[in-house]
Amino acid sequence: MRSEPAQAGGPRADPLAGRRILVGISGSIAAVKLPLLVSALARRGADVRCLLTPSAARLVSAEALACLSRHRCYLDADQWSHLAARPLHVELAEWAELVLVAPLSATSLGRWVHGLGDSLLASTLLACEAPVLAAAAMNTAMWASPAVRANWQRLQTWPGVLTLGPAAGVLACDRHGDGRMAEPELLLLALESLALWGCGRDWQGRRLLVSAGPTREFLDPARCLTNPSSGRMGVLLAQAARLRGAAVELVHGPLALPPAWLEGLDCREATTAAAMQVALLEAQPRADAIAMAAAIADHRRAAPLAHKLSKQALEQQLGGGWETVPDLLAGLVAARPAGQAILGFAAHSGEVLPQAQAKWQRKGCDLLFANPIDRPGTGFGADANEGWLLGPGERLTTLARQPKLAIAHQLLTALLGALGEGLRRPGGDPAAAGSAGDHRQPPLRQQGPGPGPLHCPDQPVPGIQPDRYPPDRYPLDRYPLDRAAADP
Ligand SMILES: Cc1cc2nc3c(=O)[nH]c(=O)nc-3n(C[C@H](O)[C@H](O)[C@H](O)COP(=O)(O)O)c2cc1C
C-alpha cells in the first residue's frame, strides 16, 4: 500500500480565515490601496475592523472601508462618548488577534515609538498586546530624515511588531526612491506569516540562499523542456525567512506568482539550469544555509538551435540530442564551505518515501523535503503541500497537508536547527573535512523524533491567544459607541 503523509485530505484552512484583524490606516497617500486589501481580507473570511486617523480620512473614504469590511469604520470622533462603558481604544486593542498598520506615516510612527496616545490609532496601538504588522510609507527625504530613521530602528527591536520598510519606486510626490508602501499582496502574505509564526526573528544575522521555480531548456527559440513549477514553495520560503530576519538571495526561474512577493529579496533570474548553476555557485560562499526548491530540468539539448524547426524536423530531433543536466544540489553539497546547512527538495509521484530516501542518501544534504506531485491540491502550483522531512541524521518528520507558507516556516525552523548542529559538530561541518561522501547520513528510521522544536500551526502563535478575547465578550458589532446609532 502507498504511504501517505498524515491527514491527507483537503488543505488546511486559510490562516487568515476567522481571524479578528484590526486595520489601522494613517495619513499617507498609500492609504488609497487599503480598501482593496480590506476587501481581500473579508473575502478570505477574516473578521475585519478599520480605523482611520483624521489625515487618512481625507485620503480614503470611511464609507468605502465600512462597506468592504462589512462593519462600521472607526474615526477619532468615535473615541469620546458618554455611551461607552469601556474606552474604544482598549476595546479595539483587546478585540484584535492581529493588527495591520498600513500605511504607517512618519507622524504615527513617532507617536507610537514615543508612547504618545493622543488619537484613536495612537492609543489603540499603545493598548495593543496582539502582534502588529507595520508598513511604512512616505516621501524619500522624510524616510531618510534622522528622526524617522531613529524611530524606525527603535520599532525593529519591539518583540510584538513585524515591520515592512518601504520599497523603492516612483512616489506620488514624483520623487524616485525609497518610500513606497509594500504592495498589498505582500502585506497579505506578511499577515499570513504573522498568523502562522508571529514576529520571531530567529534568522536575524543569517544569510539564506534560495532557488525557486522551473528551468527552461530550449530546443529551438520556440520550444523548451520545462515543468509546471510556479515557484511558490521556494519564494514563500524566501519571504518567510526574510520576515524572520534573514538576508535572502533568491535565484529563480520563470515564476507564476504576484511580483510583489519578490519585494525585499535580493533576486536574480536564471532561466536555464546552466544559468542557475552559475548564479548559485557564485552566491554560495555568502550563504549560511541553502534551500534548493527549484524544479531543475533533468535533461537539456546538447546543442540548442538558433532557428525554429519545422514540425516535421522537430519530430526527428526529439529522439536524440539530449544530455543530462548536472546535479546542482550535489554540486552545492560538494562545494559547500564549513558550517553551511543545505535543504534539498524531492518531488515524486507514486511511492514518494522510498524514492526520497534513496535520493537523500545520494545527495548528502542535511535535510530533504519530499513531496508528492500526483495528488489533487498539493505539489506544483498549488497553495498547499504535504510530505516528509528527512534529516538531520536519522530523523523523519511527516508534514501533514497545509498551506505552503506553513510548510515553509517548519522547514526554516528545521534548517536553522541543522545549521546550529553543523556549527556544533567537532571541527565544524563535515564538508570541511572531506568530500560529499563523508556527509552521507545513516539509514533512515521511520517516524523518528522531529527535528527540534518545529513550530506547528495548530499550536498557538506567541502573541495570539485566541481564547483570551472571545468575540462574544467583545461584541464590537453591538458596541455602544456606534455614533450612527447614537446620533440620529
Ligand atoms: C496628500 C498627502 C500625502 C501625504 N503622504 C504622506 C506619506 O506618505 N507619509 C507620511 O508620513 N506623511 C504623509 N503626509 C503627511 C501626513 O498626512 C501628516 O504628517 C499627518 O500629520 C499624519 O498624521 P497621522 O499619522 O495621524 O495620519 C501626506 C500629506 C498629504 C496632504
Cβ-Cβ contacts under 8 Å for 270 (sequence gap 6 or more): 215, 251, 252, 253, 276, 278, 279
- pTM metric for this prediction: 0.85
Pairing status of strand 341-348 against strand 289-292: parallel
**Tell me: the pLDDT tens digits for 63-118?**
999 999 999 999 999 999 898 899 999 999 999 999 999 999 999 999 999 999 99
**Tell me: the pLDDT tens digits for 3-34?**
555 443 444 489 999 999 999 999 999 999 99
CA distance 430 to 393: 13
Average confidence (pLDDT) over 470-484: 34
Q: Is 101 in the pocket of ligand 1 (CB under 6 A)?
A: no
And the C-alpha cell for 384?
Answer: 498547499
| pLDDT for residue 4 | 52
Counting the structural domains of the chain, the total is 2
Q: Give CA angle at 43 (403, 258), nearest 5°.
A: 55
Report if residue 447 sits inside a domain: no
Report if residue 111 sits inside a domain: yes
> Among 282-291, 348-357, 383-392, 434-443, whose mean pLDDT is lowest?
434-443
Model confidence at 469, pLDDT cuts 50, 70, 90, reads very low
**Tell me: the pLDDT tens digits for 179-212?**
899 999 999 999 999 999 999 999 999 999 999 9
Spacing, Cα 55 to ligand 1 middle (Å): 7
One domain for residues 218 and 162: no
Say if residue 485's pLDDT is above 50.
no
Q: Is 108 in the pocket of ligand 1 (CB under 6 A)?
A: yes
Model confidence at 423, pLDDT cuts 50, 70, 90, reads low
We report the CATH number of the domain holding residue 186 as 3.40.50.1950
User: In whole numbers, what is the pLDDT of the chain averaged over residues?
Assistant: 84
Q: At what angle do helices 106-113 and 146-156 cross, to 10 degrees?
A: 50
Say if residue 62's pLDDT is above 50.
yes
We report the CATH number of the domain holding residue 333 as 3.40.50.10300
| pLDDT for residue 381 | 66
Cβ-Cβ contacts under 8 Å for 269 (sequence gap 6 or more): 252, 253, 254
Catalytic residue IDs: 173
Report if residue 12 sits inside a domain: no
Average confidence (pLDDT) over 410-421: 92
CA distance 213 to 139: 35
- More confident of the two residues 312 and 187: 187
Neighbour-count burial for 115-153, b at 16+ CB within 10 Å, e otherwise: eeeebbbbbbbeebebbbbbbbbbbbebbeeeebeebbe
| pLDDT for residue 351 | 82
CA distance 131 to 112: 14
One domain for residues 169 and 99: yes
Q: Is 229 in the pocket of ligand 1 (CB under 6 A)?
A: no
CA distance 97 to 128: 10
- More confident of the two residues 301 and 372: 301
Say if residue 350's pLDDT is above 50.
yes
Model confidence at 425, pLDDT cuts 50, 70, 90, reads very low
Q: At what angle do helices 184-197 and 232-243 cross, to 10 degrees?
A: 70
| pLDDT for residue 479 | 32
One domain for residues 194 and 221: no
Q: Is 106 in the pocket of ligand 1 (CB under 6 A)?
A: yes
One domain for residues 229 and 194: no
Average confidence (pLDDT) over 289-308: 93
Say if residue 444's pLDDT is above 80.
no
| pLDDT for residue 325 | 93
CA distance 384 to 377: 6
Spacing, Cα 109 to ligand 1 middle (Å): 11
Pairing status of strand 47-52 against strand 367-372: unpaired
One domain for residues 165 and 225: no
One domain for residues 380 and 253: yes
| pLDDT for residue 472 | 39
**Tell me: the pLDDT tens digits for 314-339?**
988 888 899 999 999 999 999 999 99
Report the percentage of the chain scoring pLDDT > 90.
67
One domain for residues 328 and 358: yes
One domain for residues 373 and 478: no
Q: Whose CA is nearest to atom 4 of ligand 1?
A: 28
One domain for residues 379 and 476: no
Q: Whose CA is nearest to atom 16 of ligand 1?
A: 27
Strand order in the sheet with 47-52: 73-74, 47-52, 20-25, 98-104, 132-136, 161-164
CA distance 102 to 62: 15
Q: Is 27 in the pocket of ligand 1 (CB under 6 A)?
A: yes
One domain for residues 224 and 364: yes
Report if residue 226 sits inside a domain: yes
Task: Note down the domain range covering 329.
Answer: 207-439
> Among 94-108, 214-228, 292-306, 456-470, whose mean pLDDT is lowest?
456-470
| pLDDT for residue 418 | 93
Model confidence at 427, pLDDT cuts 50, 70, 90, reads very low
Q: Whose CA is nearest to atom 13 of ligand 1?
A: 28
Q: Whose CA is nearest to atom 9 of ligand 1?
A: 138
Report if residue 13 sits inside a domain: no
One domain for residues 394 and 310: yes
Report if residue 449 sits inside a domain: no
Report if residue 1 sits inside a domain: no
- More confident of the two residues 394 and 120: 120
One domain for residues 409 and 275: yes
Spacing, Cα 56 to ligand 1 middle (Å): 8
Report if residue 445 sits inside a domain: no
Q: Is 137 in the pocket of ligand 1 (CB under 6 A)?
A: yes
Say if residue 438's pLDDT is above 60.
no
